[in-house]
Structure 1
């Protein structure tokens, strides 16, 4: 949508954030997760103040609160159902709760329970019915049919679940000890494949490609890996450094920052990375090329999301605990910003696929 919030930057590789707009009345505590609806410009936000909030965003980037429901502990993950009408939150209260925005806004029903905090929640459809999948620090993923009060399936993982993503029939689960489990949702009770992360340090985030042929992995060491599911595509796997800055105290080394969030553009298949260094970047995995880099936003970026047509990129700025509790001061920023995606910012590099 041309003219959304303002005009684009003239520099081909350096993006600017001067037209980015703040969401009004953000949570008062750290923001853990954000997700857009597939049906409208509605943004779900989960935070450490035990709440899930839904904001409505108009074409000029104006936002207003539309609905909210509460958990009994910090919310660690939020998602929408495939039709974009129901919001699910999960977190430290070991429960997942579901709100139907079209029926009972501000009223949530518990739909899942674990023995330990739920780190991740996603939704998909099975036979036209809404299903919830939860990943927990109790080392399990569980499947829930929202029409039933009890779990319909449990799969035990090697370790605590840290991150999870879903696209079409592909479910990717990242755990402690760098295990990555790949599930084909047509056969959800077993792992289609298990690998160790190609990155040497702890997995922070996994994110499925827009065509569900693979996924990206981000780690605490400022690296991202591109990984295809099938062996026939393995020649296209690679990893690269990102979210690193020169160390002014030591000319021969870099400061390394965690990759906290990876989001794929719904139209172009390009993707973003965002990290503890407070920057975000857009990339073309097929051309192995950075499309745009953006200046620091004033604090760690904890979560990101594109809206349904890819013309808004939302990012949450909050403390991410990467430096322990002592660095979490009362002056640390806590906000959600909306970046208008203009022109060729997220378009693949001309010239087609390059391996």
Structure 2
């Protein structure tokens, strides 16, 4: 397993086709029994959180020699009773001391890992249900020296919480539609909803929506992810397109969109098979980003040079979630069914895997001369 880090300093090949031969696969007996809904690396430690449709949240520890061990696991079972919830999202506090997961029944599960013990199965520190429908987005952010949590739901609301007291902070923000994806960076909170609405919120004034735009992509939004400098965000949709969007009107000339996660259809001459863009993650150091999709591929991109850095071979299953480690040396991706073909296409033989890709050489570095933003 030490191969995960042993080649980290090696120069990357000059080809734009990436190499996945050194990717480490987490052992099957440490994985969930159903599709992975989200991945998130800790901002302070080499800990990877995973939530899945089997109702569990799992945290793995990645050691310096590349070994992976299961650290903690908890079930999304409300203390007040009720059915097991399926976590749709998971996020870390900025200090890496806590995580929160959002359930499909509207419950937020919060764990203070300082109280979790050395490892094994744990119970959430607290859980509370303040959303009428599933919680699809969770983001920790700092405000006035305090750590607050933003939650976005299918009930078309955005709320803020002071944890662990779980008291609501400020007003409930009404969204245009059901929340599908959320991300935060510094003062910038981006909330993507059904019907292609995107709310941009300045967290210096969290109770009001700074701006609402229509997605530049023509089909349903799947994911949003903020730039590392908080000047804008990337949007991915079900149509195999990604858009780069800046928050301020003065930068609109820099906005653009491009096709990705499409494959030629051998049965037709001019048409391509179109796949959903399921995940977008920004490299914490370089500001480059990844896209991953239902076609089972992931790619690294330089938005400022409008250039694809690397494209990787199919992994024999849809990629449902991705995350970069705190220093950007590891790229995690989950392979599982993403429901893009409906219930009838799901079967027990669908693979459930989580792999760790070591970032080698310059495969995630911007092109020489491109301006990092």
TM class, shorter-length: over 0.9
1:206 paired to 2:224 = yes
Query: Which residue of structure 2 aligns with residue 297 of structure 1?
Result: 315
CA distance in 2, matches of 1:126, 1:298: 43
Number of residue pairs matched?
A: 355
**2:12·2:361 contact (CA, 8 Å) conserved in 1?**
no
Distance 1:354 1:98, change over 3 A: closer
Deviations 1:47-91 (A, max 9, x none): 001111100011233211111111121110000001111111112
Equivalent residues of 2:366, 2:372 under 8 A apart: no
SS in 2 for 1:339: strand
Aligned to 1:113: 130
Query: 2:11, 2:221 → 1: CA distance?
Result: 34
* Aligned-pair CA distance for 1:124: 1.2
2:366 alignment partner in structure 1: 348
The aligned counterpart of 1:42 is: 47
What is the Cα deviation at residue 260 of structure 1? 0.3
State the shift of 1:9 in Å.
5.0
- Partner Cα distance (2:146, 2:318) in 1: 37
CA distance in 2, matches of 1:62, 1:275: 27
Q: Does 1:277 align with 2:277?
A: no
Q: What's the counterpart of residue 85 of structure 1?
A: 97
* 1:84 to 1:351, Cα distance in 2 relative to 1, 3 A: same
The match for 2:160 is 143
Aligned to 2:5: 4
SS, match of residue 102 in structure 1: helix
Deviations 1:200-236 (A, max 9, x none): 0000000000000000000000000000001111110
Aligned residue in 1 for 2:146? 129
Q: Distance between the aligned counterparts of 1:63 and 1:149, measured in 2?
A: 33
Measure, in 2, the Cα distance between the counterparts of 1:333 and 1:201: 28
Q: Is 1:19 paired with 2:36?
A: no
Structure 1 stretch 10-19 or stretch 262-271: which is displaced more?
10-19
Q: Which runs of 4+ in 1 moved over 4 A?
A: none
Q: Deviations over 1:322-351 (max 9, x none)?
A: 000111111111011000001000000011
CA deviation profile, 1:22-58 (whole Å, cap 9, x unmatched): 1231111100000000111000000001111100011
Contact in 2 for aligned 1:111/1:146 (Cα 8 Å): no
After superposition, the Cα gap between the structure-2 partners of 1:78 and 1:169, relative to the gap in structure 1 and judged at 3 Å, is same
**What is the CA distance between 1:93 and its match in structure 2?**
2.4
Q: Could you state the TM-score of these two structures normalised by the residue count of structure 1?
A: 0.97
Q: Residue 205 of structure 2 aligns to a residue in which SS? A: coil
Match of 1:60 in 2: 65
Deviation at 1:309, TM superposition (A): 0.3
Superposed displacement of residue 129, structure 1: 2.0
Rounded to whole Å, the distance in 2 between the matches of 1:344 and 1:327 is 38
Q: CA deviation at 1:126?
A: 1.9
Q: CA deviation at 1:111?
A: 4.6
2:238 corresponding residue in structure 1 = 220
Equivalent residue number for residue 107 of structure 2:
95
Deviations 1:174-223 (A, max 9, x none): 00000000000110001111000000000000000000000000000000
TM-score scaled by structure 2?
0.92
Structure 1 runs not aligned, ≥5 long: none
Q: Distance in 2 between matches of 1:272 and 1:3?
A: 19
Compared with structure 1, are the counterparts of its residues 285 and 40 closer, same or farther at alpha carbon in structure 2 (3 Å cutoff)? same
Q: Note the aligned Cα RMSD (angstroms).
A: 1.7
